[in-house]
Amino acid sequence: MSGNGSSERAVAEAVLGDAVPRCRTQNEGRMPSAEICYNRRGGMSMQYRKIGKTGLRVSEISLGSWLTYGRSVDRETAIRTIHRAYELGINFFDTANVYARGEAERVVGEALRAFPRESVVIATKVFWPMGDGPNDRGLSRKHIMEQAHASLKRLGVDYVDIYYAHRYDPETPVEETLRAFDDLVRQGKVLYVGVSEWTAAQIREALQVADRYLLDRIVVNQPVYNMLNRYIEKEIIPLGEKEGIGQVVFSPLAQGVLTGKYKPGVPAPAGSRGADPEAGAFVQRYLTDDQLKKAEQLAALARELDLTPAQLALAWVLRQPNVASAIVGATRPEQIEENAKASGVVLSADVLERIEAILNGEGETVR
């Protein structure tokens, strides 16, 4: 800590009170160890990060609504889960127009109306088909404008904090897409522009176009990122660090595989995504014997740390400074309570080395 660290903390405590975290070492005196932060009342302390170079602060753990709200989770449970997330300090809620064909946005909007609008960060998306017509998809000005207004209506808000281009559209000029987003920003209906699952080359192209025509720049990217899928480390994260683009990652638990619920040679548990005919396709890529063996070894390491496998996986994702938040799904309040505890967990160098050994196939004996 710097020489004036004590005075800085004193000022922070005077202003923020119970929100200032105290940290202690989990498994102190033993190896491996992890540092965990608590607030002054002894509760787990949600931490916040800025997205890229923006001034927008979001909770390290955010709550998503893909494959859950408006679909597999009943409305009452969904609302209770969202309310519990807010109570735990989660201020960032992610959805999309295509999730349950708009029903997810309706549920999220209904739940969040219980709280001051300025206290939450709402993100939604546009790209995928919302109808059968030729213009009911993609990133044309027409589709973006129509879907933006439809999303605002379903959410019951005047603006969304983040509006993502849900995928890249090779059939629409990037300039047209960015001008539509820029107009929404100027109208006050969107605050920040983002993309999801774009390649580094596509993001660079968009940045060049935005700079050339003085349009609002991309400031946030939403890629998949977890221990078993690390492609963003090669180009996306370095680009984000250079250009001030923050990462808000989805599937940090590898569709639940990193929770330890799936076992080699054992059918997927009833009620899990792996057993869901519609969602199963997203999980299958992780259900190889090799990946499940790694998940088993990681779960054993988590137990040594007195963490759940999910908390270990989330803390690992959040070790990246360029990652602003990790999106988790939750079908009941208890799930979000467990996942929220990953915020503030700092894994030691020894733990990170052991994780790398497992992921590189060097392995460990499951204890």
Please state which of the ranges 7-11, 122-126, 227-231, 345-349 shows the lowest mean pLDDT: 7-11
Give tens-digit pLDDT for 78-110. 999 999 999 999 999 999 999 999 999 999 999
Side-chain-facing half-sphere of 249: CA atoms under 13 Å: 31
Yes or no: say if 362 and 309 are a contact pair by the CB < 8 Å rule: no
As a dihedral over the C-alpha atoms of residue 310, residue 278, residue 123, residue 69, rounded to 10 degrees, the angle is -80
Q: What number of residues does the chain have?
A: 367
Q: pLDDT over 70 for what percent of the chain?
A: 81
pLDDT attached to residue 88 = 98
Look at the block and give the residue holding tokens 């759940």. 308
Closest CA to 191 of 55, 354, 284: 55
Give tens-digit pLDDT for 313-329. 999 999 999 999 999 99
User: What's 133's DSSP letter?
Assistant: S
Give tens-digit pLDDT for 26-61. 555 554 556 655 443 445 589 999 999 999 999 999
Reduce the DSSP state of residue 258 to 3 states and report it: helix
Amino acid at 285: R
Yes or no: say if 123 and 162 are a contact pair by the CB < 8 Å rule: yes
User: What's 111's DSSP letter?
Assistant: H
Catalytic residue from among 69, 86, 99, 164: 99
pLDDT attached to residue 262 = 79
Please state which of the ranges 16-20, 268-272, 289-293, 362-366 shows the lowest mean pLDDT: 16-20
Give the Cα separation of 329 and 307 in Å (integer). Answer: 19
User: Residue 321, preceding bond cis, omega within 30 degrees?
Assistant: no
Give tens-digit pLDDT for 175-191. 999 999 999 999 999 99
pLDDT attached to residue 70 = 61
pTM score, two decimals? 0.86
Pairing of the two strands 34-38 and 346-347: antiparallel
- Residue 99 among the catalytic residues: yes
Domains and CATH numbers, the chain: 18-359 (3.20.20.100)
Q: Which residues contact 136 (CB under 8 A, 6 or more apart)?
A: 129, 130, 143
Q: What is the 3-state secondary structure (H, E, C) of 44-74?
A: ECCCEEECCCCCCEEECEEECCCCCECCCEC
Give the Cα separation of 265 and 254 in Å (integer). Answer: 18
User: What's 17's DSSP letter?
Assistant: G
State the pLDDT confidence band at 66, using cuts at 50, 70 and 90: confident
